[in-house]
Each structure stands twice: as structure tokens, then as C-alpha cells.
Amino acid sequence: MTTKDWKKAFKQLKAKPIKMKKYIKHNAPKQRATGVCLKRCSRCGRFGGHISKYGLDVCRCCFREIATQIGFKKYS
């Protein structure tokens, strides 16, 4: 199971309501106040390498792709 989508198993469990209930009870992600998992890239959904400076809210990979379009300039 990936962190991306824990609901992927729902498709399979739809026919088994009791097992579905049990699955939800034990596998639903915790509601968190802090931590890495709160910051997701708004473009691709990646958790790591997050840039929130200047209100960008994207990961480092997406930033590299869109930097020139949003007005950043590379000097070196």
C-alpha cells in the first residue's frame, strides 16, 4: 500500500462490507497537526522536497520545471 492513496483497496472490498469496515478502522490515516505529510506538492502530490517559500507550495522537481515560467532566473 502506498501513502498516496489508502482508498485503493476499496474497489476490492466493496463486496465484503464487514471486512471493509475493519479495513477502514485499522488503515485510515491519522489526523495530524504537524509533520511532513501535511505538506504536499500542489502540482504532483509529492511529500518530499517541499518549497513553501514565497507561497509556491510545490516540490523541488516541479519547481525546476516551472521556475522560468513563473519568473525565476538562474544566474550560474
* Coil, strand or helix at 19: helix
- The answer to whether 39 touches 47, Cβ cutoff 8 Å, is yes
Q: What are phi and psi of 14, to 5 degrees?
A: -60, -35
- Nearest approach, Cβ of residue 54 and Zn ion (Å): 16
| 41 binds Zn ion per the rule CB under 5 A | yes
Q: From 43, 47, 48, select the one nearest 62 (Cα to Cα).
A: 43
Among 44, 48, 65, 72, binds Zn ion (CB under 5 A): 44
d(CA 76, CA 72): 13
CB of 14 to Zn ion, least distance (A): 31
Number of residues that bind Zn ion (CB under 5 A): 6
Identified binder of Zn ion from the candidate list 43, 47, 51, 67, rule CB under 5 A = 43
Site residues for Zn ion per CB under 5 A: 41, 43-44, 46, 59, 62
